[in-house]
Amino acid sequence: MTALQKKDHNPIAHLTREDIESLGRELDAVRASVIETRGARDTAYIRRVIKVQRGLEIASRATLLASRWKPAFVVGTVGLTVSKVLENMEIGHNVMHGQWDWMRDPKIHSTTWEWDNASPADLWKHSHNELHHTYTNVLGRDNDLGYGIMRVDEDQKWVPFYLGQPAWNFINACFFEYGIAAYDLELGKYFAGRKDKAVFKRDATKVLNKIRAQVTKDYVVHPGLALLTGSARRTLAANFTANLARNLWTHSVIMCGHFPEGVETFTKTSIDGETRGDWYLRQMIGSANISGSKAMHIATGNLSYQIEHHLFPDLPSNRYQEIAPQVRDICERYGLQYTSGSLPRQVASAWGKVIRLSLPNHLAARLHRPRRRTPVAPTALPSRIVAVADGRAA
């Protein structure tokens, strides 16, 4: 992967300006079709997920009170992990994207939601929703590309620090929620003197308060309650394990979204004067999906439909699966890569890139065996794309 504009073979060179605008209109139509049919069924879905998650959390925490008994420890730990994964991914991430704001329920709203994570909601919404989703995969603008501590693109300058990035990446994965909190605080920018001190101080207080509340809950209050049943140590271990497992899981899912081979990046100036069609195009070829079972999709917060999510970050997550075939079809008709693969394959691909790019480009190139790709030929020439007469894709 290198910035698209510098590639020998530019994967969007075959598209004319008209094609790109027509692609934009087709995607607008996909979006409109979901909005038109949003309703009670979707409301019931998110309410059910929230209910299941909270029920599971209570049940797991209650079970852990008896974790002196080993089976209760195992069941409670697994339950708490699943509950934390659901809470962060299918619920928290998506609610904070405003996917459910249309319900007008103040309890399930992007402006009121706070999640079970070290990063305070408002800081995360700024760095994720605003910066990452606006500047997806634009080198130098989207800090999600390597989180400022890794080099994940040939066009990022190599320095010896990057030799250790497989290790940084692993440590970041284990303590991902703290990594995200530090990232949302823009620590790097602060140390470089590019962040306003007063703003930093205010944000840092927020983060510290959030972390204190989170740590108190998982490592003081619940183990403390379990003192009464002699299960304090096991409860402490269970909470630590659940947080660790959740961190590893969310880190893996997120790596799969933009790091695997086949995903494109863009140069800083390439987004000047971007039209809606251009923006859609960048989201589409800058993201990658994970294929798998329904349970896997829910556990990833439907971020396994990363392409659909990046095209339409505010559509209810339960609808991504439904529109994925239409998006794939649009990709195929316009001769664009729709990157998708199984979870192990995408995780391996992302890790492979992290390891490879820890080396300078000339050494990295030796390690690079590009994934064998079926050449993508447009199945329909743009002239055959039926115009969208009534606002819907034909």
Partner 1 sequence: MTSAPARTTAAAPPAAPAPWRRRAFAVVKAATTPLLPEDYVDLIDPLRSRTQLRGRVVAVTPETADAVTVTIRPGRGWRGHVPGQYLRVGVDVDGVRLWRAYSITSGPRTDGCVEITVKAISGGAVSTHLVRSLRVGQVVQMEQADGEFVLPPTLPGKMLLVTGGSGITPVMGILRHTVDRLDDVVLLHSAPRPEDVIFADELRALAADGRISLQERHTDVHGMLDTAELDALVPDWRERETFACGPAAMLDALESHWAASELADRLTIEQFRPALAATGEGGTVHFTGLDRDVDCSGSSPILDAGEEAGVLMPSGCRMGICFGCVLPLREGSVRDLRTGEVTTASPGDGVLVQTCISAAAGRCDIDL
Q: Which residues bind partner 1 (CB under 8 A)?
A: 28, 32, 35, 38-44, 51, 54-55, 58, 96-98, 101-105, 107, 109-111, 114-116, 125-126, 129-130, 133-134, 210, 213-214, 216-217, 220-222, 225, 279, 313-314
Smallest separation, CB 46 to partner 1 (Å) = 9
For residue 131, the tally of other CB atoms under 10 A from its CB is 16
Smallest separation, CB 57 to partner 1 (Å) = 8
What are the C-alpha distances in Å from 263 to residues 4, 93, 289, 390?
10, 22, 10, 33
Q: Which is nearer to partner 1, 82 or 103 (CB)?
A: 103
Class of residue 299 by CB neighbours under 10 A (exposed 0-12, middle 13-18, buried 19+): buried
Q: Which is nearer to partner 1, 262 or 301 (CB)?
A: 301
Q: Which is nearer to partner 1, 125 or 333 (CB)?
A: 125
DSSP 227: G
Q: At what angle do helices 165-174 and 232-258 cross, to 10 degrees?
A: 130
Element (H, E) at 291: strand 289-291
Smallest separation, CB 337 to partner 1 (Å) = 23
Question: How far apart (Å, rounded) are the C-alpha atoms in residues 362 and 143?
Answer: 24
Question: How far apart (Å, rounded) are the C-alpha atoms in residues 253 and 309?
Answer: 13
Q: Which is nearer to partner 1, 314 or 332 (CB)?
A: 314
Q: Rg for the chain (alpha carbons), in Å?
A: 22
Smallest separation, CB 180 to partner 1 (Å) = 15
Pick from 346, 252, 248, 316: nearest CA to 93: 316
Element (H, E) at 31: helix 17-37
Smallest separation, CB 241 to partner 1 (Å) = 18
Percentages of the chain per state (helix, strand, coil), in multiples of 5: 65, 5, 35
Q: Which is nearer to partner 1, 316 or 341 (CB)?
A: 316
Q: Which is nearer to partner 1, 79 or 313 (CB)?
A: 313
Question: How far apart (Å, rounded) are the C-alpha atoms in residues 124 and 79?
Answer: 26
Smallest separation, CB 213 to partner 1 (Å) = 5
Smallest separation, CB 141 to partner 1 (Å) = 12
Smallest separation, CB 220 to partner 1 (Å) = 8
Q: Which is nearer to partner 1, 153 or 218 (CB)?
A: 218
360 φψ region: left (φ > 0), alpha (ψ -120 to 50), beta (else): beta
Q: Which is nearer to partner 1, 134 or 379 (CB)?
A: 134
Residue 190 token pair: 């602060």
**Residues 156, 146: contact at Cβ < 8 Å?**
yes
Q: Which is nearer to partner 1, 109 or 368 (CB)?
A: 109
DSSP 219: I
Smallest separation, CB 119 to partner 1 (Å) = 11
